Amino acid sequence: MLLRMFAKGLRDFWFENKDWRWNVFDTVVVLISFADFISDASQLRGIAATRIARTCRLMRVGKVMRVLRLMRYVHEFKKIFLLLGASMQTLIWSCLAVFFVLYVFAVLFTQTSADYLWSLDELTERNQMLHQDFSTIDRSLFTLYTAVAGGGTMGRNWGTFYEELSDVDDISKVLFIAFVTFAFFGMLNIVTSVFVECAMASTQRLRELLVEEKKATEQGHLHHMRNIFHELDTDGSNSLSYTELREALVGNIALQEYFLALDLNATDTSTLFELLDEDGSGELDIDEFCDGCMRLKGEARAFDINCVLMESRKSGKVLFRFIKQTNEQFQFVCERLTTLQQFMLCSPSAAASPMARLPHADMIWDPATWVQKDDGGFRDVMRSGVPKPDGQGPPANPVLENALDSRL
């Protein structure tokens, strides 16, 4: 322990280590053993010294605790003690609930028994037993606890207590039977189920147990995957082809059920092989087969679904940018094509060409306002198609404005 303390440092050994509780336990065990060694080595005399020596020798009981130090290396033993510690709060509240029920019935039975005993002039043997078991609340609590816990006082069970209460009155007999029925079939079963549920939930909360359980489960699945691979690899080449996979699975109901037991769907052999063969080599080695099966095992998890959603969002953004850029380019081409058509309509020789007669939704103008000038000035002809300030004329065309300003 001292070597581990000096190797890790005092701060890491006591405070910043996940096993600091085990380190404290080891320290206590070592100190107890050291005190026991001192008591054996010392030659104390006198009564006071003898008392001190006896007190020190009581620490020899701590030697039994050395066995518990091996607990950290045994998984199941360690799991039991960790779950006991995690469920201690539930255990305390369960004991309080049981105590409350026992206390209510103890007060009732104590009061009825006390009234009955006060009315007697002479106590028989059965009355003396009734006085011993139900004369005070603490005795009634102990009697009811032993009746519920399955034990008894001096070899007597709850049937003996029933016979004692039968001398009091009929109501006490019925209440005692009701108490035993409620305790056995209701209270204890509920307390047990709550305690077990808390222990199972603690398995998921304790990180150390969760990691170990997950690791053990994955190791078991990998062991089964390796057995399946060697069973499918009929030629012993340590590689699996599609032909071997298909021939081994087709008609082999037992192997298909083995896959289903491991949450793997092997009905579609072709799809399964393509999903496992990530490198596209057409061959599967044992590591590729095991990793692929572990990846495909079970239903889709929340992580897998979120990965698909994230990829869908990325693809949607890329597609949206592509559509936007394509639309901008298409609009640019349409605008240039509109300008070209407008130019050709201004020329009598070009107006008869097929290009000028092409329909286009973006070409909005009023041909009545276009007149041929003697000088053939294209800018003046096109300017006549621009809307007037009073709103008359064709709609505004920004492409036409740019063309006029650029003297195309």
Using alpha carbons, select from 101, 88, 97, 81 the residue that is nearest to residue 209: 81
CA 267 to chain centre: 30
Q: How far is CA 352 from CA 91, 241, 356, in A?
A: 99, 69, 7
Q: Is the pLDDT of residue 1 over 60?
A: yes
Most confidently modeled of 38-42, 82-86, 314-318? 314-318
DSSP letter at 17 equals -
Q: What is the DSSP string of 337-366?
A: HHHHHHHHHHSHHHHTSTTTT---TT----
Q: What is the average pLDDT across 373-393?
A: 46
pLDDT tens-digit profile of 173-187? 899 999 989 988 888
CATH number of the structural domain 212-296: 1.10.238.10
Q: What is the average pLDDT across 241-260?
A: 78
Residues 6+ apart with CB under 8 A from 264: 272, 293, 296, 297
At 304 the pLDDT is 67
At 62 the pLDDT is 55
Neighbours of 229 (CB within 10 A): 20
pLDDT tens-digit profile of 41-78? 554 444 445 555 555 555 555 555 556 656 656 667 77
Angle between the N-to-C axes of helices 158-166 and 88-118, in degrees from 0 to 180, rounded to the nearest 10:
30
Angle between the N-to-C axes of helices 125-134 and 158-166, in degrees from 0 to 180, rounded to the nearest 10:
110
pTM value is 0.46
Q: What is the DSSP string of 55-82?
A: HHHGGGGGGGGGGGGGGGG-HHHHHHHH
Using alpha carbons, select from 299, 225, 304, 212 the residue that is nearest to residue 258: 225
Helix (H, G, I), strand (E, B) or coil at 203: helix
Query: Per residue in 7-17, is it b (16+ CB within 10 Å) or e — as a string?
Result: eeeeeebeeee
Tokens at 367, concatenated: 């041909």
pLDDT tens-digit profile of 344-354? 666 555 555 55
Using alpha carbons, select from 147, 146, 145, 135 the residue that is nearest to residue 110: 135
What's the CA gap between 293 and 303, in Å, rounded? Answer: 17
Q: What is the average pLDDT across 99-119?
A: 89
Average pLDDT, whole number, for the chain? 72
Q: What is the average pLDDT across 263-274?
A: 75
